[in-house]
């Protein structure tokens, strides 16, 4: 990964949340962390020496706090999603079109990226989203209404969906 990698950690209703960025934008979000060593282990796969710089990431931290208070529908920070394949990036961009408080199916996701039979591949790309919450992969569920999977557990996905359902229309 070229250039410096900065990160910060802060507490949210899900526990510790870690956010990392390159000069191009946010490249990694980790939810429900046990602590800083867990996040650093992940970051060192991307960069040999990540630097803790909460001052540089204060804006995104503020947006996370607003989101969890039900006062923010869409994040405004720049993203660096260059770590994914072309297909993954296409899926991640499509995720950003799912409105706050709404859900779509894996089948919809596959169709929307012009790969109607690739709903499993679209689901896998969804699961590899490096910036959950900012790119709302939690808004994708099975066509029958079941949650499907979520990195960190479906209880986190349910929490995020419930938060948005409660806040929908009030922001």
Instruction: Kindly list the catalytic residues.
Output: 137
Q: What DSSP state is assigned to residue 98?
A: S
Backbone dihedral region for residue 73 (phi beyond 0: left; psi -120 to 50: alpha; all else: beta) = alpha
Rounded-to-integer distance, Cα 168 and Cα 171, Å: 7
Of 121, 123, 117, 111, give the one whose Cα is nearest residue 147: 123
In 56-153, which ranges are continuous DSSP H helix?
58-68, 86-95, 106-112, 119-127
């Amino acid at each position: 990964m070229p250039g410096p990698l900065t990160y910060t950690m802060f507490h949210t209703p899900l526990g510790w949340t870690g956010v990392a960025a390159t000069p191009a934008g946010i490249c990694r979000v980790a939810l429900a962390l046990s602590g800083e060593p867990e996040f650093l282990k992940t970051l060192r796969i991307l960069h040999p020496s990540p630097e803790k710089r909460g001052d540089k990431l204060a804006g995104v931290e503020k947006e996370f706090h607003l989101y969890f208070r039900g006062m923010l529908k869409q994040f405004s920070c720049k993203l660096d999603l260059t770590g994914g394949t072309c297909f993954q990036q296409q899926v991640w961009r499509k995720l950003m079109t799912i409105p706050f408080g709404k859900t779509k199916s894996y089948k919809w996701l596959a169709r929307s990226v012009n790969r109607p039979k690739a709903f499993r591949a679209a689901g896998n790309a969804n699961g590899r989203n490096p910036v959950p919450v900012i790119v709302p992969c939690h808004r994708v569920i099975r066509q029958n209404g079941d949650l499907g999977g979520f990195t960190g557990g479906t209880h986190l996905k349910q929490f995020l969906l419930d938060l948005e359902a409660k806040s929908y229309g009030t922001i």
